[in-house]
Amino acid sequence: MQAMLLAAGLGTRLKPLTDLRPKPVVPVANRPLGAFAMDHLARVGVRTVVANTHPQPELVEDLLRSHCPDGVNLVFSREMTLLGTGGGLRRAQALFADPAAPVVVMNGDTLFAPDLSEAYRQHVEKGAVATMILRRTPDPASFGAIGIDGEGWVRTLLGAPGSRNVAEELMFTGVHILAPEAFEAMPESGCVIRVAYRGWVDGGAPVLGVVDDSPWADLGTVSDYHRVNLELASGLFRWPGVVPIEGSLLAADRLTSGYHSTIRNSVVGADVEIAEGASIDACVVWPGSVITRSASRAVITPEHRIELS
């Protein structure tokens, strides 16, 4: 299997954190966010991952490369101009190991571990040009509703066209599988949904929707980012290889430094300095940060201290 990791976005909703690091490499549970997607892809048998990059490409490429799972060949498609999801896919096509095989597409800025093996099987067996992994949500319209019929074929996209026979409306998770011929519909620049998928759905092409209700998290805002980190630290959001200790996730150098009296329910990176007498509770602390006074419910970086209500 081969995959595309979308890692070129600007992450504007996560500012000011993304002024320091692009969203796919902001630290989550003390690893780059995009590493979670690569980890899941490797577990389901993906052996080639092409990742597109744009802002701070050297930093993104170095951090993703350092967390690439064993046995995975990671290749980069550096975009000098941001091409959008469709344009990024079109540009990366030549880098895939097998031009005749489907491509799994994952966002580098969400936490989601769907059953890709089952979705891939259905994609191939049913001859879909594209397969969207969907999930149920109370308000699918707020995410751009995707309507499927009783057999799982996508009939409406972003609520249109409105006359189709729809059995259920769901949200698109950002994970999909593309047949090789799907790349013919990709724009040189622009959105894969509003260009390629719009043409397929309106024209009646075989677009499949596979429902997967695995936990999904979009770390879109600083508040979301803080919450998901603490859910990983508490064990409320579980991920293979993420092992909390007494409700916290600590870099190795902090594990041996008598943290019990100073750190509670937090995620703390490497090379963090905590002043004598200071403590942190329910915080996310980036590597290299300096804490001079106690903090609670905050995201702390070497340049920021963002207090959350």
pLDDT, residue 36, reads 97
pLDDT in tens, 200-210: 999 999 999 99
Tens-place pLDDT, residues 67-78: 999 999 999 999
The average pLDDT across 231-238 equals 96
How far is Cα 79 from Cα 96, in angstroms, rounded to an integer?
A: 16
Task: Report pLDDT for 168.
Answer: 94
Residues 6+ apart with CB under 8 A from 184: none
pLDDT of residue 201: 95
Q: Is 255 a residue whose pLDDT tops 80?
A: no
When pLDDT is averaged across residues 217-225 and rounded to a whole number, the result is 93
State the Cα–Cα distance between residues 210 and 116, nearest whole angstrom.
10
- Residue range 2-218 forms a domain whose CATH class is alpha beta
pLDDT band at 161 (very low <50, low <70, confident <90, very high): confident
Task: Using the predicted structure, report yes or no on whether residue 260 has a pLDDT greater than 70.
Answer: no
Q: What is the mean pLDDT of residues 158-186?
A: 92
pLDDT mean over 113-121: 97
Q: Specify the pLDDT at position 261.
A: 64
Read off the tokens for 204: 């009646």
pLDDT band with cut points at 50, 70 and 90 for residue 44: very high
CA–CA distance, 280 with 264 (Å, rounded to integer): 6
Residue extents of the structural domains in the chain: 2-218, 222-307
Average pLDDT, the chain: 94
pTM: 0.93
3-class secondary structure per residue, the chain: CEEEEECCCCCHHHCCHHHHCCHHHCEECCEEHHHHHHHHHHHCCCCEEEEEECCCHHHHHHHHHHCCCCCCEEEEEECCCCCHHHHHHHHHHHHCCCCCCCEEEEECCEEECCCHHHHHHHHHHCCCCEEEEEECCCCHHHHCCEEECCCCEEEEECCECCCCCCCEEEEEEEEEEECHHHHHHCCCCCCCHHHHHHHHHHHCCCEEEEECCCCEEECCCHHHHHHHHHHHHHCCCCCCCCCCECCEEECHHHHCCCHHHCEECCEECCCCEECCCCCEEEEEECCCCEECCCEEEEEECCCCEEECC
Q: Name 183's Cβ contacts closer than 8 Å, sequence gap at least 6.
A: 89, 90, 93
Distance of CA 6 to the CA centre of its chain: 8
Residue 258 confidence (pLDDT) above 70: no
